Amino acid sequence: MRGISILFPLFFPIITSLAFGTIKFKSKRARNIYLTSTIIINFLFVINVSMTNASIDFHLFKVNDFLDIYFKIDKIGILFSLLASCLWIFTTFYSIEYMSHERKEKRFFIFFILTLGITVGIAFSGNLFTLYIFYELLTLATFPLVIHAGSREALESGKKYLVYSFTGATFVLLGMILLFSISNNMTFIEYGVLTDLNSINQNLILVIYMILFLGFGVKAALVPFHSWLPSAMVAPTPVSSLLHAVAVVKSGIFAIIRITYFIFGSDVINKVQGDFYISFLVITTILLGSLLALHQENLKKRLAYSTVSQLGYILLGLVMINDNALTGGLLHLVNHAVIKIILFFCVGAIYFMTGKKTISEIKGIGKQMPITMGCFSIAAISLIGIPPTNGFVSKWYLAIGGLRADRVLFSVILLLSALLTAAYILPIVITAFFQGEKVAKEDHIEPPLRMLIPIILLTGIVIALGLFPNFVLNFIESITDSIV
């Protein structure tokens, strides 16, 4: 029965969010306490589950071979769930303040908590079918968040988001059906489920891999399926930051890791050369994302395209199929999450305090909000990959991985893209600090503490991970050792 403990972090948020919908809070304070305690308790649940060394698994209900809701905990799931639930805490504090200016807070927080449960569900899924279900649920749960503003533009973006996601899910379903027909097994196992390679048509395997990759690639904003992501920027900032930093895009990446290393296995992918075909798409994603980010006027859109490009890095790390690259990829998955969430929080703080959205409007904002923009600058430096920040560490491993795989081209692209990153992110910093009027100290308009503290703490994490990466690095290396 120890397996039950796996269900707590999963269903606790789902239940509390439903309860949140029915409870009428006497005061805002009571509501805030309810929210934060929910998220923090859930974090503790995740830690509790992670601490048990033995592998836990649990069949929630098994109807037949494929219709099997099965949860299993392994290291990579722990990594993802810890990342998600940790960042969720920061976002909760931030959004309690931020959302006080938006309407329909209740609806927002219901789906906000719900999404946490579903994300943890994705992390703990023990087979492809369970992953698929939570993947679909994620779309449905985040949809109301995307269209939160309720404007025509928001509804249009929401529609786009749904169409893209469901097209992706349909690809996944197709891949799943084909996979099931050849393997009869969709459990995630290290080195994959396809043991008897000779009896299976290798082209078919390649086709199935490509279909699944493209299907999950929609959520991972793979070019040419990326355009929902910039459109989804109409959502309130906490949503954008979560969508981008953890919940949605990283779920796509996570699912791709699962199919590459736990369904097919690195050997099979190497053999059918799945990595070769995919890497073209990934390189396009990296370059195109950076190039498109260059001329976005809207701050959030610029960050969105930056996400597209950075996700390309992670995918590149995954498809090179060697342990250094994979370490780099996973490390970047963590680091990018932290970096992006800071960037979005800062942009949100600017909008919250001044209502400014575009680059031309924020001249001299650094002088008004020095702490916020200071954090922004540190995150920007980290995004480019300059030491002593965490972005440097992950890119270092990616580059080494590229060299180890005898693909110098990849390392060159990484450098080129780092340049492009600098070209799109530094202008924001420069405009903010070096243009505009000088401002007296009394006119500083830093955001309220509940917004500022998460930003500062996260920036602290960025630097800490840059100086002492070993803690995370060792954990990730222990993951990669077991699957490559």
Partner 1 sequence: MIARNFPLLTIMILLICSFIMPIVKEAKTFKKLSIISMGASVVLNISTLIYIKYDGSFFYRVGHWDAPWGIELHIGMIEIIIGILFTLVASLVIWYSFYSVDTEIPKEKIRFYYLLINILIASLLGIVYSNDLFNSFVFIEVSTLASCGIVVIKDKKENIKATLKYLILSILGSGLFLMGIAFIYSITGNLNMTFIHNELAEIYIKYQNTILISLALFTVGLGVKSAMFPLHIWLPDAHSNAPSTSSALLSALVLKAFVFMLIKILLRVFSLEIVIQYRVLDLLLILGSIGMIFGSVLAIMQKNIKRVIAYSSVAQMGYIFYGIGLGNSLGLTISIFHIISHALTKSTLFLAVGSMMEQTGKNLSDLKGIGKEMPVTLGIFTIGAFSMVGIPILPGFISKWYFALATIDASKLIYLGVILLSSLLNAVYYFPIIINGYFGEENLKGKVFMSKNKPVKELLPVLILTVGIILVGIFNKGIINAINKSLI
| Minimum separation from the CB atom of position 209 to partner 1 (A) | 16
| Minimum separation from the CB atom of position 201 to partner 1 (A) | 12
Q: Beta partners for 68?
A: 62
Distances 200 to 157, 278, 294, 325, 458 between C-alpha atoms, Å: 42, 21, 46, 29, 48
Token pair 């993951």 in the structure block, residue:
479
Q: Beta partners for 358?
A: 298
Applying CB under 8 A, the residues found at the interface with partner 1 are 61, 63-64, 66-67, 129, 132-133, 136, 143-144, 147, 150-151, 155, 158-159, 162, 166-167, 170, 173-174, 177-178, 180-181
Between 121 and 454, CB nearer to partner 1: 121
**Residue by residue, what is the 3-state secondary structure of 112-152?**
HHHHHHHHHHHHHECEHHHHHHHHHHHHHHHHHHHCCCCCH
Between 89 and 162, CB nearer to partner 1: 162
| Minimum separation from the CB atom of position 39 to partner 1 (A) | 25
Residues 267 and 192: beta-carbon distance below 8 Å? yes
| Minimum separation from the CB atom of position 64 to partner 1 (A) | 5
**CA dihedral for 159, 164, 167, 169, sign (positive or negative):** negative
Between 203 and 360, CB nearer to partner 1: 203
| Minimum separation from the CB atom of position 68 to partner 1 (A) | 11
Between 93 and 188, CB nearer to partner 1: 188
**E-assigned strands of 181-258?**
none
Q: Residue 471 is which amino acid?
A: F
Between 165 and 377, CB nearer to partner 1: 165
Between 137 and 341, CB nearer to partner 1: 137
Angle at 264 between CA 263 and CA 265, to 5 degrees: 100
**Would you give the end-to-end CA distance of the chain in angstroms?**
32
| Minimum separation from the CB atom of position 397 to partner 1 (A) | 37
| Minimum separation from the CB atom of position 29 to partner 1 (A) | 25
Report how far Cα 157 is from the mean position of its chain's Cα atoms.
19
Between 2 and 62, CB nearer to partner 1: 62
